[in-house]
A and B are shown apart, each in its own frame.
Chain A
Amino acid sequence: MTSVPLVSVFSADDSTKVTAKHIPLPAVFQTPIRPDIVSFVHTNIAKNRRQAHAVNPQAGMQHSAESWGTGRAVARIPRVSGSGTHRSGQAAFGNQCRKGRMSLPIKVWRRWHRRVNIKQKRHAAATAVAATGIVPLVLARGHRISQVPQIPLVVEDKIESYEKTTDALNFLKRFGAFEDVQKVVSTKVVRAGISKQRGKKYRVRKGPLVVYFNENAKLLKAFRNVPGVEVVNVTRLNLLQLAPGGQLGRFVIWTQSAFAHLDKLFGTYRYASVLKDGYQLLRPLLTNPDLARIINSNQVQEKVQPAKTTKVLHEVQKKNPLKNTKAMDRLNPYAKKQRAAATAAIKANTKGTKKIKKNKALKKASRAAFNKVSAALNDATKAAVQEEQDIKVKYFSVQKGAAQAE
């Protein structure tokens, strides 16, 4: 890549004035965005500020309770000894018991902190910094940056000498960052849950993060009282601030010297980092992310097979051909003719019967024909019955003759 993305440095007093044009973007902003690394590192690092707590080891156990054993029609749970009070004979000690100790009581030697490999932590920080330069990510995180002139926002070092909060506020207003601060103010809510009684009364959102470089900068005090704004030195960039909640894309305001220091901090793709010993920025999986160009290149198109049809046999809905004429005709073109022939035959038949009904002579003739056939049938039946009777008579007479003979 011959071209390098460029960034302008804005004057602290006037957001329209640019004090330095076309500063190249530090290589950190080119690192691949790896939300998986950030998520992993964040979940572990977030545990490191925890303070140990535990339940009282004696809680629920300060009885001389003993099980009554079997044979007394009660459960075998340890029961409080003694008498003269309701408490005596009640169940004790178990996690299921009222006033019993909890199961697996929390101990102070619980492993509160997590260690993460340094390289992973560094990669996470680099990715988080890169994400602060991507507008959709910052917007997605929820920052109100529509009036901000540039992302990443780099301002001249003058803001490091701000002492008054009014200066800080006016600066934020000038650069369209005040909308983000207003968001923080207007969405401050009383926290749900018990922790409001334990010193965490309000839930406050995160606003802009101001990153400075010079150690004796006074801007910390100026920005301290602005709700939502955090101030941090560039040498101590914190993942918990760059990607709060593990979510990439914090809105960051850099001072010029802080911005310039990033190359020394994280290194570039040509040189390893100076300040992080032996650290080299993460390399992307794809060197050429222009997928359209890759797909349409000659090398790929030569090998490509023609597109397959996506129609799957079993996805076609079956229509009953015996009821659905279209389905029938699709399967059997002759069916159309058969149907036509059938309807014609029905029509011819109805015409015939209508004719007969209309024409009395025809009716008479058909009646006569019917009578003739039924008469013939009657004669035939009579003859058959007579024949059967004759056979029977013959048989019985033969039997009689035989009996008489005996």
Chain B
Amino acid sequence: MSQKKPQMQVEQKVPENIVKKNARDTKLREAVAKRRTERLAANKTRRAQWEKNAQAYDNEYKAADKSLVDSLRKAKSEGGFYVPAESKLILVVRIRGINTLNPQVRQTLRLLKLRQLHNAAFVRVNKATIEMIRKVEPYVTYGYPSRAVIKNLIYKRGYAKINGQRIPLTNNNIIEQQLGKVGIHSIEDLVHEIVTVGAHFKEANRFLWAFKLRGPRGGFIAKRRSFINQGDWGNREDLINDLVKRMI
């Protein structure tokens, strides 16, 4: 089937398969264009929502800071004391390698997502997790992360576990697809969930792969000793932030 040369009166005959292909291609192109415009419109509303949420969280954080300061001042002025609530969140960092580990310790570290040296993970504080951390204390250092550290960890070192793969958090679609059904649509939502240890902390934390940090710039003091004994392992409360800033 070949195209005839165009003549004066006779119309050009186009082969049937080409006609069909053109029809199909135009239909596909139209569908793609339609999907694109829909997607762009949807994105616009989504981005507006993300911004709104982020602003709300920002105000919430500022309010929380302010209320803490106010409480401290008030207590001082009254001559009493203000003890802020104990942290609900712990950041655990593994400081020992993989060799010659007690099997129970090995297993517990695995359960805490700390499979590798300098891996860090968020852990909710409750009786069960406290016991787990106590079991692995000489092999980890942990403390109460500040909001800035949490944010920086998730932004810079944040990877998701999707289908067993470690996927970088490059855009909010990744978060939306996995955590949309629990109300976490953007990275700021995720940060907020971790910071406040919200109702869906479990899903949010499970979504996150362990943070693979570098060794601390400036080094450890003495990994063989506990933090209390001028070493490194165990609970170092707020000072975990200084360490992690050197490791991010």
Contacts and interface: CB of A to CB of B under 8 A. Distances in A.
A322 B170 contact: no
B188 A321 contact: no
Which bracket fits the contact residues of B? 20 to 34
Interface in A162-221: none
A332 B54 contact: yes
B165 A314 contact: yes
A30 B138 CA distance: 78
Contact of A322 (B28, B155, B167, B172): B155
Interface string A340-357: 000000000000000000
Looking at chain B's contact residues, the main secondary structure is helix
Contact of A333 (B28, B54, B58, B162): B54
A332 B58 contact: no
Contact of A327 (B28, B54, B58, B170): B170
A315 to B, nearest CB: 10
Contacts of B172: 330-331
A318 interface: yes
A313 B54 contact: no
A131 B21 CA distance: 34
Interface residues of A, number: 25
Nearest to B170: A316
A359 interface: no
Nearest to B191: A332
A331 B17 contact: no
B187 A334 contact: no
B169 interface: yes
B206 to A, nearest CB: 18
A346 B4 CA distance: 75
Interface string B12-48: 0000010011001000100000000000000000011
A338 to B, nearest CB: 7
B16 to A, nearest CB: 10
A313 B165 contact: yes
Nearest to A304: B24
Given A331-B186, A332-B188, A334-B54, 5 more contacts: A313-B165, A313-B167, A314-B166, A320-B155, A333-B48
Interface of A: 292-293, 296, 298, 301, 306, 313-314, 316-322, 327-328, 330-335, 337-338
12 contacts: A317-B170, A318-B159, A320-B156, A322-B156, A330-B172, A331-B169, A331-B187, A332-B186, A333-B54, A334-B50, A334-B54, A337-B51
